Structure 1
Amino acid sequence: MYRKKFIPPLLKRPPTAPTTDNTNSEPSKKRIKLEPLSSSQKSADLDGGRSSQSSNGARKMLPSSRITAGPGSRFNPPTIIRKPLIPVSNPPGVAEKAGPISVSDNGNGRYYFNVLWRKFQARKHKTWDGDGVLAIVNGNATLQDVNGRDIATGRVSKTPVEGDVISLGGKEVEIDSILPKSDFMAGKPFLKSKGKQTDAEPTIPTTELYARSTFKPPLLSGTTVTKINPQKPVARFDPSAEGALVMKRLEISSKNKTVVDVVVDPIISRHLRPHQREGVSFLYEAVMGMRPYEGRGAILADEMGLGKTLQTIALLWTLLKQNPIYNQGPVVKKAMIVCPVSLINNWRREFKKWLGNERIHVFVADGKSNVRDFTHGPVYNVMIVGYERLRSIQDKLKQCQVDIIIADEGHRLKTAENKSAQAIRSLATPRRVVLSGTPLQNDLREFFVMADFVNPGILENYSTFKKQFENPIVKSQQPEALKADKELGNARKASLAELMNKFVLRRTAKILTKYLPPKTDVVLFCRPTKQQLELYQAIINTSVAKRQMGSMDTALQLITLLKKVCNSTSLLKPKGKEDDEAKLSNSILEEAKVAGSALVNSNSSGKLKVLEKLLVTLKETTQEKVVLVSNYTSTLDILERMLNSKGFHHLRLDGKTPTNKRQDLVDKFNRVSSDVAFAFLLSSKSGGAGLNLIGASRLFLFDSDWNPATDLQAMARVHRDGQKSHVYIYRMITTGCIDEKIYQRQITKQGLADSVMDQKAGGSNFTSAELKDLFGLDTETTCNTHDLLGCECGEIGEPPSEDIENDEEDEKDEPIQMTGWTRASAVDMDKQEEAYRKATSKARQRMKALLEFSHINPDKIPKSETRVSSSKQPVGSEEDGDGEEEEGEEQLPIVEDEILKRVLDENPKAISFIFTKNSI
């Protein structure tokens, strides 16, 4: 088929040569294009001028050429004389008139503007995303944010002026003002300093600067930086405002940096209590490297209920939005919170409560989420992840830079071999904060691991720390320590405390006195039943049990078995399992000739009977709700059956409760009445930390854990912000059994923690021989702990005297001289009594923590005296200013708990001894 040759269309018509006036002084804005010449004219000499010809035949005249009409020329118009282009530069600070941009102005086609920019928005009321700088070079425009990052590029056809709105690379840009070229070339828009203020520039007060702001704010305040005078750097929030929380100013020596005040967002700071404001300031100084130590980590060791979560949120929000160096980006762009899985929803709710969903987006790394949304997306700045989940996603987190890590309940990182701690270390994040109400739980090695985690190398290596600090401190706190040992230990403890105070902030719950209702701690020593005593004695007398006692590796199985006997004998009933614990239990029961039928009765427990009496009395006489805590789900099963038998409605949270259902259970319990949910069954391992069960006013800790931190965390669930009622915390212990030995061991550990963390005088409360006597059964004592205390309080509720004498003779290094048989006539009774007095004084010093309690033996209290007057004036308080009692007046025992009084009146033999203490 015949096809014509394709001829492309002529897209542009060559312009005709304009007629110009030779006398015009204005330079021509366009070059003159001439019509093509014929072949006979191509070589013609045009008045001695030079010419060149392009490929399309168009004649181009070089600069300074003159065109005249010659013989045979096709040019009929008069002679055209073109003058050279005159370069015109932009005067500094003056904008060019709108018009086409020349690309051949020898590098002078450069324009710079301060602008506002935003992404394209379809809504009616549009907002700006931020400030920026627009640079136009030879028609090529580049948009940069205040951090100097290119965010859009494109081509513009004319020079914009102030007020123009242009589109550029998917962004809308409004020209705010002209930026002098000299300022742009010096990098002042992106530097930390805008330059010194000249004498001609007036000093404008900060408040006036905020009032005169012309920046177009977004819908929500606090999400963008207010547009202010660029020559006067000011803080994001007004530091002179009433109640403003201003952080410590950063000290720098560079002349190119300007420091501004960092002010905590008022939306949070107005809710902070004085101790919380102090905590936020401390954490900010620590992570910014302002504290006097090498490192950017800190430990917030406030006791439970002081608001560690709120302080952390205030810190993160400040670091995510502000920087002490003017005109730099925020200190933190990505933050990660690691916590137990039971607290994930609690953290998310706290962020929503204080900041709302519109200010910050929180990413929760559960099994359904994609971690890439946090690592690569700009939407999320904070991620909340559980310790277990962190280990599985640590490689994915390395794809982004995490600027700060918050480890809630950080005592979980107490071992160097902890996989979660190793995962966090692998992220190479310099800023680390540990939140823990009990940073020192068992020994100083755990504290070393935590300190080295937040500030690597601050305590050297562990071998050096153990030799120079741990060993001398522990040795000095033993009752048999010599004077030299105590002197060395106290010096090392003071040195460690001085270093620790630089990066550890510790406040006790005493500062909540004016914020929370009173609290009463009660330790109930319950007499074991006859069946419990017989089973306990039979177990420890078996040959299998005696072999277990000789090995620390196998003794734990025997301890667990005896703890079950203390809770309820029915827990030993065979369940068909074949694990090591079940095999040990079956072998011991077979040797002890204990039939399974004898273990059916779940009420064969002294603690369970006392608890049942207390709960029935509470239900009948009050509208209060209770929390029942245990370390074992099998024990929770027994407590649940007991509640069902009484018709008491309850809720339960343990390890089998789905994570997404736990907070709903807590909220329901706090909201409903006691008729709907009278009790809340709680596993201390699964929900003993972080939860707020303020709907209850009484908590019963049914069994104890070796780690005192576990019990302290569980007992703090009800005495929290929002509690309105007087709180009672009951710790239930079986008298003379393993329960009491565990309680004594807890006091030992708490004494070590108090002496180091709280600077208290404490020590190892019992000798090594006493601590090894874990498996003994004391059937004669009313309270073995009180016996070891050697207290002469009279056991009728009078607070023991804390005036412990410190005789110099007690500090002598001379060993005790052991004498043989001595005749009775040769015994110095005064000397014997003095030695006994000194021994008692030492015991009371070791047990100083228990001297804060009132000691009550129900057998020594007449029934009529258990109901005292409603006055809560403690024994020994001042009356009429002289502190003396009226003659003949007798102080009655302090038993203020009406519910406990009723139980003592009905069955005083069920409880053998009581420790009680009133606090905040």
Structure 2
Amino acid sequence: MYRKKFIPPLLKKPPTAPTADDSTSEPPQKRVKLETQSNSQKSADSDSGRSSQGSNGVRRVLPGSRIIAGPGSRFNPPTIIRKPLVPVTNPPVVTEKEGPKLAPENGEGRYYFNVLWRKFQARKHKTWDGDGVLAIVNGSATLQDVNGRDIGSGRVSKIPAEGDIISLGGKEVEIDSVLPKSDFMAGKPFLKSKANQVDTEPTIAPAEIYAKNTFKPPLLSGTTVTKINPQKPVARFDPNAEGALVMKRPDISSKSKIVVDVVVDPIISRHLRPHQREGVAFLYETVMGMRPYEGRGAILADEMGLGKTLQTIALLWTLLKQNPIHNQGPVVKKAMIVCPVSLINNWRREFKKWLGNERIHVFVADGKSNVRDFTHGPVYNVMIVGYERLRNIQDKLKQCQVDIIIADEGHRLKTAENKSAQAIRSLATPRRVVLSGTPLQNDLREFFVMADFVNPGILENYSTFKKQFENPIVKSQQPEASKADKDLGNARKASLTELMNKFVLRRTAKILTKYLPPKTDVVLFCRPTKQQLELYQAIINTTVAKRQMGSMDTALQLITLLKKVCNSTSLLKPKGKDDDEAKLSNSILEEAKVAGSALVSNNSSGKLKVLEKLLVALKETTKEKVVLVSNYTSTLDILEKMLNSRGFHHLRLDGKTPANKRQDLVDKFNRVNSDVAFAFLLSSKSGGAGLNLIGASRLFLFDSDWNPATDLQAMARVHRDGQKSHVYIYRMITTGCIDEKIYQRQITKQGLADSVMDQKSGGSNFTSAELKDLFRLDTDTACNTHDLLGCECGETGELPGEDIENEEEDEKDEPIQMTGWTRASVVDMDKQEEAYRKATSKARQRMKALLEFSHINPDKITHGALCDTSSKRSTEEDEEEDDIKQEEQEDEEPLPIVEDEILRKVLDGNPKAISFIFTKNSI
């Protein structure tokens, strides 16, 4: 470029003091005029080379020259010597119109990028159509989709940078990342192999070819990223803002890494309750490896209704967008949520509710979707898949790196041989989170499998765990355990609990007291009908049934048969099936000489009669809706016939309900009134977990499952966020039959779970001999469970005494040995009374769960006297005050023994239908 010769600035005349001659003259000129050179001066200047003269005769002063003027002349200032100026070469200026030229890569001028593309859209919230690859060769750009098909081409004037959006071939293209030339030439972006999915980093210096990244405007305010100074790292969200949820900082010793605060997006954190904020922080620390144990897995074991889904969404959104190490990508790029098929739509709705469709794209792996859409490209960051579907697509998921896996209702992974657990392990994902309201259901082995699943090797192998933890803990829970066994078991339990608390977070529903309406749990022991008793007794007396009792493998078939008798005798109708259960049922009925006519009546069930009367009372006196839960679809058929006979409108969800219609049924039931849908028939195996049936205020669990977690999950469907009415949960049990034995077994398992998970004092509530006595029919008891409890509460509704003496036991004490007949003269009655008192005290100590209930025997309450007016008044006042209070109480309403008005109405009309009641008021 041509440059003119540098001309130094002119010098100004310094100010001089005015003289007398100048007082009347004009003021001096502001600009100093240069004198006209004489001929002699011109020659001198030319000889010295220090000055030059222009065409107008004015002398130009060059750098380093000295100007000398004569005295007294206004144009001749004193001598001024100036230091020469240093010449500077200015770089050429590049205008914005020209832009940086294409810088060739290795002299070839070829560049490749992973991009997102879409057709031009006019709507406000735009979406991307798919992933693609952009190739730029000597300024000519070609756009291809993930299948290698050309979908656009054009010319570009400069190399785009990450985040730039350009127009090409009628489409908008956003640059996602640089694709190495070697990967493009090998066709790796278009292949499915995992080996082809490598991290792509720029191989060209950004300073040489990239223009300055332009700031991409956010779609919503919640995704706004503050412009930061590259010299000073700034958090994505303000950690000092009011209510900000700031995660724990990692301990980084490397000077090359700069730590920045990780702050949960305010769009979610402002909705989190205190216990949920604690849960998000706990999960973040565990998956980031900040907890003092080896592993990056966690178990969120909150009880139902505490918001495990919301806590998980907050965690994933934080990990997908932030990293505690400055200038690095997000911690998680791909996340997967595995859940029962009935909860897939619920998870999708929760993501939309809290984040919207604009912030995150959720991929649902159903039968119609292509898993390749998730494994290739960054369009989808989260995938929701069912346990059954996961087993079929596990090979396809290996084509990409899944950074974190969330297993909802993770108690399904309770066995090491579980195919879903094996599928997840095959993905080699280090970060795993299990969500389960009931992590310990049957035994400690299941808990070991879950702990080893999230943190492999944390509890060594199972043989070591069983010997060092499981056996001592279980043995200490038995009533016949010695003091040494109890001390060892308590010590091992404390050690296991300390380790477990590092990666397991457990909170109970008690913290929801101020968020949810009150709840009343009612256990109804219903007397069996005469027909049920006769059929039950005939079945257990058959030789076929007695052979079944001898083996646990064959006893399950007999147990299923007896459970059907408890639900309804019509379930035993002969079937033409050829399976083992049908053959057993037909052979037993044939031997018992049970006529087919005896099985026709659908109303030959004590539980069914009580349920029908309760539903009729609810329908006639209230506008409430109900949920009816059963473990068997055949039982749901019986309940549906009963509802139809009464003209009660209802909805039904079981295993035959299509997965894509289940959430619609739930939404409809919650929305309409009782005239449109009075009841909701629910299969506990198909929809007993995760669903929110807050449209109903009463739930009836018609039959029980061996696994207490199944029943607990089902009973929690109505007492959840959004519920506004007082909730009543009814568990229906047939007195003296297999129903009651199963309930007792549930208490045993729940006692073990409470002991380990909730650190409660409890355990195995019944001896092994009592648990084996499953098939005995008790016809002379109002409640066998209350008899085993040894409670002396009076059975009139008052809470049992909870002050149990903790007596020190001698290590030499042994259980009472029954040796046969003993003469009355040698029996020590005092010793036997003392042994009975200790045994009763131990039983009550072990069964604190049932001591929280009020025990009511309707036979001990006179008809119409279900309200008490005397027993709950103070008795420590003198006679005069008692007389005054008695007069005042005459006008007061009586205190109800049974607070549920609907249940009182049924008891008044049919006092013999219900033999015993356990009731408890909670949150």
What TM-score bracket applies, with the shorter chain setting the length?
A: 0.7 to 0.9
CA offsets 1:63-87 (integer angstroms, 9 cap, x no match)? xxxxxxxxxxxxxxxxxxxxxxxxx
Equivalent in 879, 890, 900 of residue 897 of structure 1 = 900
Unaligned runs of 5+ in 2: 7-86, 108-114, 128-137, 142-151, 176-201
| Separation in structure 2 between the aligned mates of residue 90 and residue 658 of structure 1, nearest angstrom | 78
In the alignment, which residue of structure 2 is the partner of 1:792? 792
Q: Does 1:761 align with 2:774?
A: no
In the alignment, which residue of structure 1 is the partner of 2:132? none
In the alignment, which residue of structure 1 is the partner of 2:919? 916
In the alignment, which residue of structure 1 is the partner of 2:845? 845
**Paired residue type of 2:580:** D
Does the CA contact (< 8 Å) of 1:798 and 1:875 recur in 2? no
Relative to structure 2, which stretch is displaced further, 843-852 or 384-393?
843-852
In the alignment, which residue of structure 1 is the partner of 2:385? 385
In the alignment, which residue of structure 2 is the partner of 1:490? 490
Q: Does 1:711 align with 2:714?
A: no
Q: Does 1:907 align with 2:910?
A: yes
* 1:863 partner SS: coil
| Separation in structure 2 between the aligned mates of residue 642 and residue 706 of structure 1, nearest angstrom | 26
| Separation in structure 2 between the aligned mates of residue 101 and residue 659 of structure 1, nearest angstrom | 55
Query: Deviation of residue 811 (structure 1)?
Result: 5.3
Q: Does 1:612 align with 2:619?
A: no
Query: Deviation of residue 226 (structure 1)?
Result: 2.6
CA offsets 1:703-762 (integer angstroms, 9 cap, x no match)? 000000000000000001000000000000000000000000000000000000000011
**Paired residue type of 2:248:** K
Query: Deviation of residue 365 (structure 1)?
Result: 0.5
CA change 1:229–1:553 in 2 (3 A) is: same
In the alignment, which residue of structure 2 is the partner of 1:558? 558
Matches within 5 A, 1:215-254: 215=215, 217-223=217-223, 225-254=225-254
RMSD of aligned Cα (Å): 4.1
Query: Deviation of residue 834 (structure 1)?
Result: 2.4
CA offsets 1:71-119 (integer angstroms, 9 cap, x no match)? xxxxxxxxxxxxxxxxx99999x976779999999x9x9xxxxxxx997
In the alignment, which residue of structure 2 is the partner of 1:652? 652
CA change 1:605–1:377 in 2 (3 A) is: same
Query: Deviation of residue 222 (structure 1)?
Result: 3.6
Matches within 5 A, 1:305-704: 305-704=305-704
Does the CA contact (< 8 Å) of 1:366 and 1:385 recur in 2? yes
CA change 1:187–1:303 in 2 (3 A) is: farther
CA offsets 1:653-687 (integer angstroms, 9 cap, x no match)? 11111111111111111111111111111010111
* 2:809 partner SS: helix
Does the CA contact (< 8 Å) of 2:375 and 2:397 recur in 1? yes
CA offsets 1:864-902 (integer angstroms, 9 cap, x no match)? 320357x9xx9699999xxx9999989966310011111
Does the CA contact (< 8 Å) of 2:260 and 2:325 recur in 1? yes
* 1:809 partner SS: coil
CA change 1:693–1:186 in 2 (3 A) is: same
Query: Deviation of residue 824 (structure 1)?
Result: 5.4
Query: Deviation of residue 577 (structure 1)?
Result: 1.6
Does the CA contact (< 8 Å) of 2:738 and 2:775 recur in 1? yes
| Separation in structure 2 between the aligned mates of residue 877 and residue 247 of structure 1, nearest angstrom | 53
Relative to the length of structure 1, the TM-score reads: 0.78
Query: Deviation of residue 552 (structure 1)?
Result: 1.0
Query: Deviation of residue 389 (structure 1)?
Result: 0.4
In the alignment, which residue of structure 1 is the partner of 2:745? 745
| Separation in structure 1 between the aligned mates of residue 884 and residue 803 of structure 2, nearest angstrom | 25
| Separation in structure 1 between the aligned mates of residue 386 and residue 321 of structure 2, nearest angstrom | 25
| Separation in structure 2 between the aligned mates of residue 255 and residue 286 of structure 1, nearest angstrom | 24
Does the CA contact (< 8 Å) of 1:478 and 1:767 recur in 2? yes
**Paired residue type of 1:628:** L
Matches within 5 A, 1:29-428: 215=215, 217-223=217-223, 225-428=225-428
CA change 1:548–1:101 in 2 (3 A) is: closer
**Paired residue type of 1:231:** Q
**Paired residue type of 1:903:** V
Q: Does 1:860 align with 2:860?
A: yes
CA change 1:120–1:459 in 2 (3 A) is: closer
Relative to the length of structure 2, the TM-score reads: 0.78
**Paired residue type of 1:693:** L
Query: Deviation of residue 809 (structure 1)?
Result: 3.3
CA change 1:101–1:124 in 2 (3 A) is: closer
In the alignment, which residue of structure 1 is the partner of 2:30? none
| Separation in structure 1 between the aligned mates of residue 474 and residue 796 of structure 2, nearest angstrom | 35
Query: Deviation of residue 251 (structure 1)?
Result: 1.6
**Paired residue type of 1:602:** N
**Paired residue type of 1:909:** K
Relative to structure 2, which stretch is displaced further, 819-828 or 246-255?
819-828
Relative to structure 2, which stretch is displaced further, 254-263 or 523-532?
254-263
Query: Deviation of residue 555 (structure 1)?
Result: 0.5
| Separation in structure 1 between the aligned mates of residue 409 and residue 89 of structure 2, nearest angstrom | 63
Does the CA contact (< 8 Å) of 1:865 and 1:892 recur in 2? no
Query: Deviation of residue 377 (structure 1)?
Result: 3.1
CA change 1:360–1:257 in 2 (3 A) is: same
Unaligned runs of 5+ in 1: 1-19, 27-87, 110-116, 130-138, 143-151, 175-183, 191-212
Query: Deviation of residue 230 (structure 1)?
Result: 2.0
| Separation in structure 2 between the aligned mates of residue 89 and residue 559 of structure 1, nearest angstrom | 100
In the alignment, which residue of structure 1 is the partner of 2:723? 723
Query: Deviation of residue 223 (structure 1)?
Result: 3.5
* 1:432 partner SS: strand
| Separation in structure 1 between the aligned mates of residue 876 and residue 233 of structure 2, nearest angstrom | 61
| Separation in structure 2 between the aligned mates of residue 120 and residue 820 of structure 1, nearest angstrom | 88
| Separation in structure 2 between the aligned mates of residue 334 and residue 592 of structure 1, nearest angstrom | 61
Does the CA contact (< 8 Å) of 2:480 and 2:815 recur in 1? no
Query: Deviation of residue 831 (structure 1)?
Result: 3.7
**Paired residue type of 1:469:** F
Query: Deviation of residue 232 (structure 1)?
Result: 2.0
* 1:384 partner SS: strand
Does the CA contact (< 8 Å) of 1:128 and 1:217 recur in 2? no
Does the CA contact (< 8 Å) of 2:125 and 2:358 recur in 1? no
CA offsets 1:156-177 (integer angstroms, 9 cap, x no match)? 88999xxx99989998999xxx
* 1:733 partner SS: strand
**Paired residue type of 2:579:** D
Query: Deviation of residue 358 (structure 1)?
Result: 1.1
| Separation in structure 2 between the aligned mates of residue 419 and residue 305 of structure 1, nearest angstrom | 28
CA change 1:286–1:538 in 2 (3 A) is: same
CA change 1:279–1:189 in 2 (3 A) is: farther
CA change 1:917–1:658 in 2 (3 A) is: same
**Paired residue type of 2:560:** T
CA change 1:584–1:156 in 2 (3 A) is: closer
Query: Deviation of residue 256 (structure 1)?
Result: 1.3
Query: Deviation of residue 219 (structure 1)?
Result: 3.3
Does the CA contact (< 8 Å) of 2:219 and 2:358 recur in 1? no
Query: Deviation of residue 218 (structure 1)?
Result: 2.5
Does the CA contact (< 8 Å) of 2:102 and 2:157 recur in 1? no
| Separation in structure 1 between the aligned mates of residue 451 and residue 338 of structure 2, nearest angstrom | 17
State, as a whole percentage, how many aligned pairs show the same letter.
86
Aligned length: 779
* 1:714 partner SS: helix
CA offsets 1:461-517 (integer angstroms, 9 cap, x no match)? 111111111111111111111111111111100000000000000000000000000
| Separation in structure 2 between the aligned mates of residue 301 and residue 104 of structure 1, nearest angstrom | 57
* 2:587 partner SS: helix
